[in-house]
Amino acid sequence: MLGEGILKGLAETAKNFAGSYVSKDRLTTVQYPEERIAPIEATRDFPFLVYDGEDWQAGLRCVACQICEKECPPKCIYIEKSKDKKPDYVGKPQIYPARFDIDISVCMSCQICVEVCPFEAIKMDTVFELATEDRFGGLLLDRSKLAKSNEYYHTIHPTEAAEVDARLAEEKAKVEAKARAAAEAAAAKAAAAPAAGAPAKTEPPAVKPAGGAE
Amino acid sequence: MTNPATEYAAGQGIGDARLDGRMVVDPDSGTDLLEVAMGPHHPSTHGVFRMDVALDGERITRLKPVFGYLHRNHEKLGEGHTYLASMPYTDRLDYICSLTNNWAYALAVEKLAGQEVPERAEYLRVIVGELTRVQNHALSVGFLIQDMGASGTPLMYAFREREKILDLFEALTGSRMMCNYMRFGGCRVDATSEWLDAVRKVVTGLPQFADEFEQLLCTNEILMARTQGVGVLRPELAVSAGVTGPALRAAGVNYDIRKVDRYSIYDRFKFKVPLGEHGDVYDRFMIRLLELRESIKILEQALKEIPDGPVMDPKAKIRNFRPKVGEAYGRIEAPKGELGFYLISDGGPNPYRYRVRPPSFVNLTILEDMCLGHNVADVVLILGSVDIVLGEVDR
């Protein structure tokens, strides 16, 4: 019968139309911006800099190694190294970025900066609705705008942030253990030094704990 | 008072452009032909693409595809960037199927560097690749029907299904369209078991979508009248022009790189390669729906068999990656056809030559042969049935 196919198709649309009132699968749209879908955890859009503690300038993890600047495919990161040094999370004095700009009008959200960063200092944000009237200054973010706390990182990517924290804590513990072992070794050595009679006998036990801690 | 726009146009020679609708005489036939520029700013061209057509009444007597409006220097950029930095750029080739683009490029580089891919990563690649194929075919059928004038309904159903798949991509890779997921020697992140469960849930719903879509469209008399016998592509021409993908299989040529090359782990899955008989628009439309069903079968098998294990080759390097001197061509069956990357390495951090073989571009070259003698309205349909993405055509 001519028109049978059309009627079959119309039955399908009728099913969808009626179904959209009862089934969530058939009506998937929401009325943005009044209604919003819950964000997906892995979402990424633009990078930000993580800092620990209260003060963003003191706590910035970035050490201005410029790897991300070099690896960034569209070259949207600009870094200037500082002249002086500040202590990092394990207490080692490090250079920090005197200037760290990301031009998010150029950024292509590829996450390569995050992958290459050896210091877990740069992570991907989930902010959107970034429209601005100033096309140049408004989209060129400097470090004061890029710096966001570790707590904020935990709110947007909880699983990933927990992994990063565990990794950093492990590293810190390692460094501390090493430092402690080194200090102990130095102390043992210092203690052994006055008893100059038998250096060969006292040295091996002093070295051993240092090796074991590593 | 003078009109600045007219003055500008006259100064630029725009006023006497050849294709502004004036009549020209074809010396061979002696009749008046009308030259029309279809595009570049028209939704039916699927992007910025122009067809210079010469019309005899309603009939096409000549058609010249003009592309390059979206040229972004992709291949030259690839020569200047490191191997890794080119990966996010491949997302932007065929922006509907970024994951298969990643895959083809990763495959080429792995061939070049002689890298192995862990088992689980191969399975993940197959899963995301076939999901990409499902959403591409749903979408291309939707757009084809849209080109036919059925504004909205089938396309929106296709979009609804694609949305679920894009949500899966976002949960896995962090991005809906520009996934940037694959790395040389594996995948960037591992899939959680919750993600795999979510994929299983979506895949279970897909056959119902395919049923409904077929019910909606396949026997529709208007669709059949518009598409059957339109834009016939003969198998000999398709083969000699290098056409690949659904357009080639709709012409009846059994050529699917998943079967021919058996790259990755496609030899482990049972699936059929649907073939057309007439090579017309209707066959190309049906082939996509059938391939969608075959992809669902592959997905079901892959989800059942996926093993545990690492997703990255432990020897793989993210930074300072320098493959040895040589050349490699990696190709896959992308949803639109054979997508290949040809790379020459001189041992440095970036390729000496980076060449893309995009399926859309090659499939477009036979557009005139398919369109000759048809009406203007059919050109839109035939172009829609070739399924192009201009990001890939112009690169």
Looking at beta carbons, which residues of chain B come within 8 Å of A15? Answer: 212
Spatial separation of the C-alpha atoms in residues B339 and B324, rounded to whole Å: 23
Bridge partners of B23, per DSSP, are: B34
Instruction: Spell out a b/e string for B289-325, using b for 16 or more CB atoms within 10 Å of the CB, else e.
Output: bbbbbbbbbbbbbbbeebeeeebbbeebeeeebebee
Beta strand segments in chain A, E: 47-51, 77-87, 93-103, 122-124, 140-141, 147-149
Spatial separation of the C-alpha atoms in residues B160 and B296, rounded to whole Å: 17
Is pLDDT of B17 > 50? no
Q: Note whether A114 contacts B: Cβ–Cβ < 8 A.
A: no
Q: Are B287 and B274 in contact (CB under 8 A)?
A: yes
Q: Is the CB of A12 less than 8 angstroms away from the CB of B212?
A: yes
Q: Is the CB of B175 less than 8 angstroms away from the CB of A43?
A: yes
Looking at beta carbons, which residues of chain A come within 8 Å of B212? Answer: 12, 15-16
Mean of pLDDT over chain B: 84
Bridge partners of B341, per DSSP, are: B330, B356
Is pLDDT of B18 > 50? no
Q: Helix or strand or coil: residue A51?
A: strand
Q: Is the CB of A112 less than 8 angstroms away from the CB of B218?
A: no
B182 φ, ψ (degrees, to nearest 5) = -90, 150
Spatial separation of the C-alpha atoms in residues B343 and B355, rounded to whole Å: 6
Q: Between A and B, how many residue pairs show a Cβ–Cβ distance under 8 A?
A: 81
Q: Quick one: pLDDT band at residue B52, thresholds 50, 70, 90?
A: confident
Give the helix/strand (H/E) hosting A122: strand A122-124
Q: Give me the sign of the Cα torsion angle B285, B288, B289, B291.
A: positive
Q: Are A139 and A91 in contact (CB under 8 A)?
A: no
Q: Note whether B211 contacts A: Cβ–Cβ < 8 A.
A: no
Tell me: the pLDDT tens digits for A62-118? Answer: 888 888 888 888 888 888 888 888 777 667 788 888 888 898 888 998 888 998 888
Which range has the worst mean pLDDT, A28-32, B42-46, B214-218, B361-365? Answer: B42-46
pLDDT at A214: 39
User: Tokens for B287?
Assistant: 């082939």
Best probe of the B interface among A30, A43, A110, A126, by most B CBs < 10 A, is A110
Q: Are A83 and A10 in contact (CB under 8 A)?
A: no
Q: Are B177 and B98 in contact (CB under 8 A)?
A: yes
Spatial separation of the C-alpha atoms in residues B162 and A29, rounded to whole Å: 13
Spatial separation of the C-alpha atoms in residues A206 and A213, rounded to whole Å: 12
Q: Are B226 and B199 in contact (CB under 8 A)?
A: no
Q: Quick one: pLDDT band at residue B30, thresholds 50, 70, 90?
A: low
Q: Quick one: pLDDT band at residue B136, thresholds 50, 70, 90?
A: very high
User: Tokens for A156?
Assistant: 């947007």
Residue B220: closest C-alpha in chain A:
A5
Give the helix/strand (H/E) hosting B295: helix B281-305
Q: Quick one: pLDDT band at residue B28, thresholds 50, 70, 90?
A: low
Q: Which of A58-62, A158-162, B350-354 has the highest mean pLDDT?
A: B350-354
Q: Helix or strand or coil: residue A82?
A: strand
- Among partner residues B88, B160, B218, which is closest to A112 by beta-carbon distance? B88
Bridge partners of A86, per DSSP, are: A94
Q: Which residues of chain B from 343 to 382 reach within 8 Å of chain A, CB to CB?
A: none
Residue A74: closest C-alpha in chain B:
B85
User: Tokens for A121?
Assistant: 């200092």
Q: Note whether B162 contacts A: Cβ–Cβ < 8 A.
A: no
Q: Helix or strand or coil: residue B248?
A: helix
The closest of B30, B266, B251 to B129, measured between CA atoms, is: B266
The pLDDT > 90 percentage for chain A reads 0
The closest of B145, B149, B174 to B157, measured between CA atoms, is: B145
Q: Note whether A1 contacts B: Cβ–Cβ < 8 A.
A: no
pLDDT at A55: 79
Beta strand segments in chain B, E: 23-25, 32-38, 41-42, 47-48, 50-56, 59-66, 182-183, 186-187, 326-334, 337-345, 353-357
Spatial separation of the C-alpha atoms in residues A201 and A188, rounded to whole Å: 12
Strand B353-357's sheet: what is its strand order?
B326-334, B337-345, B353-357
Q: Quick one: pLDDT band at residue B16, thresholds 50, 70, 90?
A: very low
Q: Give the closest-approach CA distance of A137 to chain B in angstroms.
A: 26
Is pLDDT of A206 > 70? no
Which range has the worst mean pLDDT, A39-43, A84-88, B138-142? Answer: A84-88
Q: Are B321 and B184 in contact (CB under 8 A)?
A: yes
Q: Is the CB of B175 less than 8 angstroms away from the CB of A109?
A: yes
Give the helix/strand (H/E) hosting A28: none
pLDDT at B133: 92
Q: If you average pLDDT over residues B286-302, what whole number do you get?
A: 91
Q: Is the peptide bond before B40 cis (omega within 30 degrees of 0)?
A: yes
Q: Are A101 and A46 in contact (CB under 8 A)?
A: no
Is pLDDT of A203 > 50? no
Q: Give the closest-approach CA distance of A67 to chain B in angstroms.
A: 9
pLDDT at B26: 52
Residues present in chain A in total = 214
Q: If you average pLDDT over residues B240-245, what whole number do you get?
A: 90
Q: Note whether B207 contacts A: Cβ–Cβ < 8 A.
A: no
Q: Quick one: pLDDT band at residue A213, thresholds 50, 70, 90?
A: very low
Q: Quick one: pLDDT band at residue B225, thresholds 50, 70, 90?
A: confident
Looking at beta carbons, which residues of chain B come within 8 Å of A25? Answer: 205
The closest of B164, B169, B209, B183 to B90, measured between CA atoms, is: B183
pLDDT at B31: 61
Tell me: the pLDDT tens digits for B319-328? Answer: 788 888 989 9
Q: Quick one: pLDDT band at residue A54, thresholds 50, 70, 90?
A: confident
Mean of pLDDT over chain A: 81
DSSP for B155-203? HHHHHHHHHHHHHHHHHHHS-SS----EETTEESSPPPHHHHHHHHHHH
Is pLDDT of A194 > 60? yes
Is pLDDT of B4 > 50? no
Is pLDDT of B174 > 90? no
Spatial separation of the C-alpha atoms in residues A34 and B382, rounded to whole Å: 41
Tell me: the pLDDT tens digits for A133-150? Answer: 888 888 888 888 888 888
Q: Is the peptide bond before A33 cis (omega within 30 degrees of 0)?
A: yes
Spatial separation of the C-alpha atoms in residues B294 and B274, rounded to whole Å: 8
Is pLDDT of B6 > 80? no
Q: If you average pLDDT over residues A2-18, what whole number do you get?
A: 84
- Cβ burial, residue A117 (10 Å; 0-12/13-18/19+): buried
The predicted model scores a pTM of 0.83
Is pLDDT of A174 > 50? yes
Q: Note whether A3 contacts B: Cβ–Cβ < 8 A.
A: yes
Is pLDDT of B2 > 70? no
Is pLDDT of A200 > 70? no
